[in-house]
Each structure stands twice: as structure tokens, then as C-alpha cells.
Structure 1
Amino acid sequence: MKPFYVGFGCRRGCPMDSLLTLLEQGLAQRGLDPAHLHGIASIDLKAHEPGLHALASHLALPLVFYPAPHLNRFETHLSHRSAVAYAHSGCWGVAESAALAMADQYNGDPQLLVTRRTLGPATLAIAH
């Protein structure tokens, strides 16, 4: 199977446990093998979120942050465009855009495997 990447959006202070639970649900939804998860991504506004760093460390995966203008290149691929997300971040959908950006960086021709899912303070998407 082709490597895949997870994108996260989250509120400030989102705990690692919430992110991990959401990730486990997303993987189970599509029957994805965690061994093929090769990275975690988000918007650069979240670069100092302890939960994201703790999750990347826990899973021993690279964590990459992208600026909103880079993420907006993937707007046409999004399953959902959020005016609220755009107002806060300058990006129409952080989780899906971040997953697509990382998949594009490493695989090219990115596609969503799991569209935007939400659990409490976090959103997730998975792309390859």
C-alpha cells in the first residue's frame, strides 16, 4: 500500500489523547494499517501545539507545518470548505489541506482517503 499522511486541525491546548483517538477512528473507518502512516501535518499556526508534538513523538513520525497560502493550493480537493476555519486561519479546511499537502510533497497526485472527521477539539483527514 502507498504511504499515507494525516492532517490535523485543532483548538488551542487540544490533548494528545483526543488526537490519538481521532486518528485510531479514522484508520479504522477505512481499514488502514497504521504501519503505512508516514507523517502528520497541520497549519503553521499550530506549530507550538503540545498535543501535536506529543502525538508525533509517541508515534515516531515526522510533523510538518504548512502556511495557509500553501494549504489553499488544495482548496479544489476539499470535501468541505469552512468559512469559520478561513476566518481563523486563512485556510478553507486545515485537516484536509494539511493531509493533501503532505501527501503531495512525498507522493504527488494527492487524494483524500478519509475526509474531514471531528472529535471534540480536533479535526482529522487522511490522504495518500
Structure 2
Amino acid sequence: MAITKNRNVNPFDLTVQLWPRNIYLGIGCRRGTTLESIETLVLPKLKELGIDLRTIVGVASVDLKKDEAGLLNFASKYNWEISFFTAEELQNAAGEFSSSDF
């Protein structure tokens, strides 16, 4: 049995894969970004990283984006929960993150 987030892990001739749902996508976007534009960027990156869509719990973004149709529709299309956080909450979050010019 293999418990993994990577769809390419098959260490045995017969491998049972369990897909833990424990990944949140942090997504920022410009105003008016479409669902299709988000998919065009996010889905190939997930594939490149070997992250199966079944492991994703939801999407997170800054609260300024809570009315962005493209972002809301993206989460809805994949039946993922969506959470919004204040800029202060995001700045105080532990971890290493890439920055935005915004």
C-alpha cells in the first residue's frame, strides 16, 4: 500500500493508492481573471508536480478576492471549498511563500 499525494508512486507490482485530501491551493489573481485562465495555469502545474486533483481539499485566497467570479467558479467546478483570509492573516502565516508585486 502507498499513501501519497503523487499519482506516479507505484512501488509494488500491485499498489493500492490512498489519496489523502490535505492540500489547499493558495491562489491570487488579478481582477477579472477567468476560470479558464486559472485552469490554464493551475492544472498543468499540479500535473508537473505530480499532485492528483483528488488530494485537494480547497482553495484559499486573500479576502479582497471573495467576489472574483473566476476564482469562485474554479473552486465550484472542482467541488472544492474556498476560504478567504485577511492580508494580515496571510502575512502572519508560517511557511515559505512566493511574493506578489501586489
TM-score scaled to structure 1, two decimals? 0.60
Residue 57 of structure 2 corresponds to: 38
1:81 partnered with 2:68 = no
1:33-60 per-residue CA deviation (whole Å, 9 max, x = no partner) reads 1100110010000000000111111001
SS at match of 1:9: coil
Cα deviation for residue 76 of structure 1 reads 5.6
SS at match of 1:25: helix
Select the structure that is richer in strand.
1
Residue 25 of structure 1 corresponds to: 44
Separation (CA, whole Å) in 2 of partners of 1:64 and 1:35: 18
Separation (CA, whole Å) in 2 of partners of 1:29 and 1:76: 22
Select the structure that is richer in helix.
1
Separation (CA, whole Å) in 2 of partners of 1:81 and 1:27: 19
Q: Which has the higher contact order (CA 8 A, sep 6+)?
A: 1
Which runs of 5 or more structure 1 residues have no equivalent in the other structure?
86-128
Identity %: 34
What value does the CA root-mean-square deviation take over the aligned residues?
Answer: 1.5
Q: 1:7 aligns with which of 16, 23, 26?
A: 26
Length, aligned pairs only: 83
1:14-69 per-residue CA deviation (whole Å, 9 max, x = no partner) reads 00001112121121121111100110010000000000111111001101000000
Residue 104 of structure 1 corresponds to: none
Which runs of 5 or more structure 2 residues have no equivalent in the other structure?
5-19
Q: Which has the larger radius of gyration?
A: 2
